[in-house]
Structure 1
Amino acid sequence: MTILALVLDVLAYGIYAAQRQAANLYMPGTIAQAVVVVGLIICLVAFKGKRFGWFNFETWVHNFSLRYAIVVLSFILNALLLFLYVLNVTGRNGLIFN
């Protein structure tokens, strides 16, 4: 699942690079980014590896394992990117492509 999350990140970067070149790709790019986010949600739910590492008794928290942390961070960043795409498509904020 970690490799799949990294592949989806590369795909998301390709989508972003294509949209930077042509403004008429904003809506298809937003739909493609939504598909990437749904794929990452599936990766989060279907992850079969070790999710938590060692327990830190000083702060009383479990740390994510490295492989699961990559999937979680990939999901968080791509979900934020999808939010910015939706703001751009609706015309509320064009920050992402300026």
Structure 2
Amino acid sequence: MPLIAILLDAIAFGSYRLQAQSAALYHLGLVGQSVIVLALLIMTITYKGKKLGWFNFATWTHNFTIRYAVIVLSLIVNALVLFLYILNLTGTNTLIFR
């Protein structure tokens, strides 16, 4: 699953680079990014591997395993990019395609 998350990140980056050259593809990019975020959310929820690593007594917390952290970080970054897409489409903030 972490490899699939990295592959989805590469697809999202390629889609972004394609849209940066053509403004007509913004709606298609928004739909694609939404599908990627939904797929990563499903992967995060249905992950069957070990999610928590060793217990840290200094902070009294469990740490994510590397494999699960890749999926979670990919979800967070892509969700933030989706939010920026929505802001760009509504005209509130055009930061992402500047």
Corresponding residue number in structure 1 for 2:46: 46
The answer to whether residue 5 in structure 2 is matched with residue 5 in structure 1 is yes
CA distance in structure 2 between the aligned counterparts of 1:27 and 1:56, rounded to whole angstroms: 45
Structure 2, unaligned stretches of length 5 or more?
A: none
The Cα offsets for residues 37-69 of structure 1, whole Å up to 9 and x where unpaired, read as: 000001101111110000001100000000000
2:95 is aligned to 95
What is the TM-score of this pair, normalised by structure 2? 0.98
Partner of 2:69: 69
What do you get for the CA RMSD once the two structures are aligned? Answer: 0.5
Deviations along 1:59-92, one digit per CA (max 9) or x if unpaired, are 0000000000000000000000000000001111
Q: Provide the rounded CA distance (Å) in 2 between the counterparts of 1:83 and 1:21.
A: 20
5 Å matches for 1:79-94?
Answer: 79-94=79-94
Secondary structure in 2 aligned to 1:8? helix
Q: Aligned residue for 2:20?
A: 20
Task: Give the letter for the 2:68 counterpart.
Answer: Y
User: Aligned AA for 2:77?
Assistant: L
Which digits, 9 at most, give the CA deviation of each residue in 1:10-48, with x for residues without a partner?
Answer: 010011011101001111100100000000001101111
Q: Which runs of 5+ in 1 are unaligned?
A: none
Aligned length: 98
